[in-house]
Structure 1
Amino acid sequence: MTNTPAVSVLIVDDELGMRSFLVKALSRRFALVESAESIESAEEIRKRCHFDLLICDIKLPGRSGIEWHEALQQSERRSDIIFMTAYAELETAIEALRAGASDFILKPFRLEQMMAAIDRCLERRFLARENFVLKRELNAVFNGNSAMIGESQVIKDVDAIIRRVAPTPSAVLIEGESGTGKELAARALHQHSGRTGAFVPVNCGAIAPDILESELFGHTKGAFTGAQKARDGLFNYASGGTLFLDEIGEMPLVMQAKLLRALELKAVRPVGSEQEVKVDVRIVAATNRNLEHEVKEGRFREDLYYRLNVLTLTLPPLRDRPEDIAALVHCFSRKLSRELGLPPVPFAHEDMASMMAYHWPGNVRELKNFVERCILLGRLPVNSFPESQKSAPASESGASTRGYSSEWALEQVEKHHILQVLADHQGNKSSAARQLGISRKTLDRKLQTWEETSLSDS
């Protein structure tokens, strides 16, 4: 058994022999183990030290363990508590658990039984802390207020839709190329929904068709070869929360019919069972396929498509929103440097301009991997961006040679260059802004300024 010295334990029992036994046994594993003979004595000890775990007899002189309100009801001083009793009464056990006990053990017990109860408590505590950290990281990823990261208008529109529909139970279908952040958008919907259950992602294309039903709905003992015990499905784990069905277009037609029934009845039937189990699940599905086309081709059920397509959220490819790259790079750099334990890489203006000019065929996922690679190397990799994925230079696109008088002011050079690039791209402002390494908003502002100056001069 592994030692966990960071955990502190307080034993409360009026029997000296039991206190001595547990103190001696648990001191081998925990650095701080103390004992008390009553609730009053225990409270005096707790005034000078916080304990992660309390092991308390129910029958005590004065107040009983179940009446230990300071330990059971004060959230700011909350500790896990294991109750012990020599009276094997069901009502006592129920009362103890209702009072807030983490576990319940009957006297006399073997040391292994007590250690197993302690391990269960510590595992729950670890999972609770891990959940807290994950929520805090999610808040950091979503910048506390925003659901999605970026400055582009399209991402701001997506963010506004997410925040508006998140508290509703309606199904959401997220479309977009691979790597555009569909799961991040789904997590944002869950994060802002107020639902207390878990966010459960499942990749429909990564699970073998013959076990997908069991994975989603669960199964009974003996339902099929190898089903040695009953098992809950992912719908059950997501009850009260959100089930994210990624790559929904990969789901077999037979399973689509069963999924549709589960969504309509808000209940699942485990494999091998005749009984349906009610579930409260918010469904978010995602695909990089054109489901409307899949329906026409007979590869996706029309009724399921309309059941999922209550609201469609379309995530644009990264090449169409280069103005978001700086914010994404900053977010990934901060998060990954902390995870890797390495300092972030400073990106120069020229580096950022190259990133904004690159087409990013792998979208946000490729950008994240690129930032991680930079942090690992401590610099930008050599030949980071293939020429084939950059905007064509002027000489290749048939543009005239750029030349200007040495007498021109810097503002004149800038205006000439920007207008020339815009002309090369046939007036496409987004494409021109990408090549220039500036945001579309900046380009619009400059053009508007020059237009106003021209009008005032005339």
Structure 2
Amino acid sequence: MTNICNNLFFDAEAPILYEVDAHIVGSSPATRRMKQMLTAVSPSDAPVMLSGDTGSGKERAATAIHHASGRKGQLVAVNCAAIPGELLESELFGYEKGAFTGADERRVGLIEMADGGTLFLDEIGDMPLALQSKLLRVLESREIQRVGGREHIAVDFRLVTATHRRLTEAVADGKFRADLFYRINVLPVPVPPLGDRLDEIPELIDRMLRDHSEQNTHANLPHFAMDAIERLQAHSWPGNIRELRNVVDRAIVMFPGRMLHAAEVDNFLLLSETDGAPNGKAPGAGIAVGDQDAVLKLLQEKGAIDIRMILRDMEIGMIDGALQVCEGNVTGAAQALGLQRTTLIEKIKKYGIKKP
């Protein structure tokens, strides 16, 4: 009887587990635990809170929950930290024509767009207190009012939130409502940092390259040799999976079709944890002073080095990486890169870089 029950349980969960596996790469103990929790919570309508370091893959986990839940509506993702507080309310609730200056027509809000689907509120800890109380009313009543409107609109959505903050401390400090915290923290799921999943780096790189190839069918992708993988696994990854994605993106741009070894990883791909430069060198240096082996290797492979192209590609990679880390915030990216904001804007336009 036990075996029969176990088989029935497995069969019932199989489609859910398939959806989770389709979105979450890896088989380390930390990732397996996360997948088990995602598989367990996905069928429910109860709120899920994803916690983990910035860049650890919380949005991908939210995507897995949505697709495994079977909900027919869309997944609507909102980064509460990326939208100014005074605009976040109108983005979430929508507004009626004439509600405020510039409201020339009715606009449906993101909560209403998530009706029948999943609303993912990333960085919920950055939501202003006044808006927290309004969100709590929506969760209790399952109704919204557009800004400037009187109509009560019924909404049916699954709420998934994410944060890298310790919300219990924010509650204690009066920066986050305790009643909202208990309302959204029904099913907590921790998302492990990349430092706990180092064995998965080859799988993650393979998935990233495959995703890029599907979007760019004629792309000439790089290849990572074993010593390059070992070098990546020795890195501390303060930026987690987002940082690894930036490394892969730089490799795609700078070394199309090339076999990459540890030297290329050190000199061109990894950013220093202290100054944002490759391997701790001056930005754009690429190859350390006196590193004759790296220079000879490039000369043997290419016959000549186009240093202007190398510096350009590195600058593009660094700007793109800073924008990713700062989630599209140009001011933050400029500070991280040591540039004036106007200078960074000019470079973004010059290189045609798309903000995330």
TM-score (norm 2): 0.66
1:292 and 2:173 matched: no
2:238 aligned counterpart, secondary structure: coil
Partner in structure 2 of residue 174 of structure 1: 50
Deviation at residue 344 of structure 1 after TM alignment: 2.3
Q: Which whole-Å CA distance do the structure 1 matches of 2:89 and 2:227 have between them?
A: 51
**Any runs of at least 4 consecutive aligned residues in structure 1 with deviations exceeding 6 A, and if so which?**
386-389
Deviation at residue 275 of structure 1 after TM alignment: 2.3
Partner in structure 1 of residue 312 of structure 2: none
Partner in structure 1 of residue 131 of structure 2: 255
Partner in structure 2 of residue 366 of structure 1: 243
Which of 49, 70, 73 aligns to 1:197? It is 73
Letter in 2 for 1:369: N
Q: Which whole-Å CA distance do the structure 2 matches of 1:282 and 1:290 have between them?
A: 23
Deviation at residue 218 of structure 1 after TM alignment: 1.2
Partner in structure 2 of residue 356 of structure 1: 233
2:50 aligned counterpart, secondary structure: strand
Deviation at residue 385 of structure 1 after TM alignment: 4.0
Letter in 1 for 2:221: P
2:167, 2:181 within 8 Å by CA — same for their partners in 1? Answer: yes
Deviation at residue 291 of structure 1 after TM alignment: 0.5
Q: Which whole-Å CA distance do the structure 2 matches of 1:144 and 1:317 have between them?
A: 18
In the alignment, structure 2 segments of 5+ residues that lack a partner are: 1-14, 275-356
Partner in structure 2 of residue 224 of structure 1: 100
Which of 185, 194, 207 aligns to 2:61? It is 185
1:245 aligned counterpart, secondary structure: strand
Deviation at residue 386 of structure 1 after TM alignment: 6.3
Partner in structure 1 of residue 342 of structure 2: none
Q: Which whole-Å CA distance do the structure 2 matches of 1:147 and 1:159 have between them?
A: 10
Which of 149, 160, 179 aligns to 2:36? It is 160
2:19, 2:67 within 8 Å by CA — same for their partners in 1? Answer: no
TM-score (norm 1): 0.52
Question: Are residues 144 and 154 of structure 1, via their aligned partners in 2, closer, same or farther at CA, if it must alter by over 3 Å?
Answer: closer
Partner in structure 2 of residue 319 of structure 1: 195
1:217, 1:271 within 8 Å by CA — same for their partners in 2? Answer: yes
Deviation at residue 144 of structure 1 after TM alignment: 7.7
Letter in 2 for 1:193: S
1:192 aligned counterpart, secondary structure: helix
Letter in 2 for 1:182: K
What do the CA deviations read for 1:35-86 (whole angstroms, capped 9, x no partner)?
xxxxxxxxxxxxxxxxxxxxxxxxxxxxxxxxxxxxxxxxxxxxxxxxxxxx
Question: Are residues 264 and 387 of structure 1, via their aligned partners in 2, closer, same or farther at CA, if it must alter by over 3 Å?
Answer: closer
2:20, 2:65 within 8 Å by CA — same for their partners in 1? Answer: no
Deviation at residue 300 of structure 1 after TM alignment: 0.4
Q: Which whole-Å CA distance do the structure 2 matches of 1:240 and 1:388 have between them?
A: 43
Q: Which whole-Å CA distance do the structure 2 matches of 1:187 and 1:220 have between them?
A: 30
Deviation at residue 318 of structure 1 after TM alignment: 0.6
1:211 and 2:87 matched: yes
Q: Which whole-Å CA distance do the structure 2 matches of 1:253 and 1:143 have between them?
A: 35
Question: Are residues 349 and 254 of structure 1, via their aligned partners in 2, closer, same or farther at CA, if it must alter by over 3 Å?
Answer: same
Deviation at residue 343 of structure 1 after TM alignment: 2.3
Letter in 1 for 2:233: M
1:176, 1:287 within 8 Å by CA — same for their partners in 2? Answer: yes
Q: Answer with 204-213 or 295-304: which moved more.
A: 204-213
Q: Which whole-Å CA distance do the structure 1 matches of 2:20 and 2:169 have between them?
A: 37
1:186, 1:244 within 8 Å by CA — same for their partners in 2? Answer: yes
What do the CA deviations read for 1:371-410 (whole angstroms, capped 9, x no partner)?
1211222244452446879xxxxxxxxxxxxxxxxxxxxx
Deviation at residue 337 of structure 1 after TM alignment: 3.3
What do the CA deviations read for 1:104-130 (whole angstroms, capped 9, x no partner)?
xxxxxxxxxxxxxxxxxxxxxxxxxxx
Aligned 1:392-411 pairs, distance under 5 A:
none
Deviation at residue 159 of structure 1 after TM alignment: 0.9
Which of 188, 197, 220 aligns to 1:343? It is 220
Deviation at residue 232 of structure 1 after TM alignment: 1.1
Letter in 1 for 2:226: H
What do the CA deviations read for 1:85-118 (whole angstroms, capped 9, x no partner)?
xxxxxxxxxxxxxxxxxxxxxxxxxxxxxxxxxx
1:345, 1:375 within 8 Å by CA — same for their partners in 2? Answer: yes
Partner in structure 2 of residue 268 of structure 1: 144
Question: Are residues 160 and 366 of structure 1, via their aligned partners in 2, closer, same or farther at CA, if it must alter by over 3 Å?
Answer: same
Deviation at residue 211 of structure 1 after TM alignment: 2.0
1:303 and 2:164 matched: no
Q: Which whole-Å CA distance do the structure 2 matches of 1:386 and 1:367 have between them?
A: 10
Deviation at residue 148 of structure 1 after TM alignment: 1.4
1:234 and 2:110 matched: yes
Deviation at residue 338 of structure 1 after TM alignment: 3.6
Aligned 1:41-52 pairs, distance under 5 A:
none
Question: Are residues 145 and 314 of structure 1, via their aligned partners in 2, closer, same or farther at CA, if it must alter by over 3 Å?
Answer: closer
1:158, 1:313 within 8 Å by CA — same for their partners in 2? Answer: yes
1:172, 1:311 within 8 Å by CA — same for their partners in 2? Answer: yes
Deviation at residue 220 of structure 1 after TM alignment: 1.4
Partner in structure 2 of residue 110 of structure 1: none
Partner in structure 1 of residue 294 of structure 2: none
Question: Are residues 309 and 388 of structure 1, via their aligned partners in 2, closer, same or farther at CA, if it must alter by over 3 Å?
Answer: closer
Q: Which whole-Å CA distance do the structure 2 matches of 1:145 and 1:364 have between them?
A: 17
The CA RMSD measured in Å over matched residues stands at: 2.0
2:78 aligned counterpart, secondary structure: strand
1:333, 1:344 within 8 Å by CA — same for their partners in 2? Answer: yes
Q: Which whole-Å CA distance do the structure 1 matches of 2:47 and 2:252 have between them?
A: 38
2:50, 2:161 within 8 Å by CA — same for their partners in 1? Answer: yes
Question: Are residues 308 and 284 of structure 1, via their aligned partners in 2, closer, same or farther at CA, if it must alter by over 3 Å?
Answer: same
Letter in 2 for 1:254: A
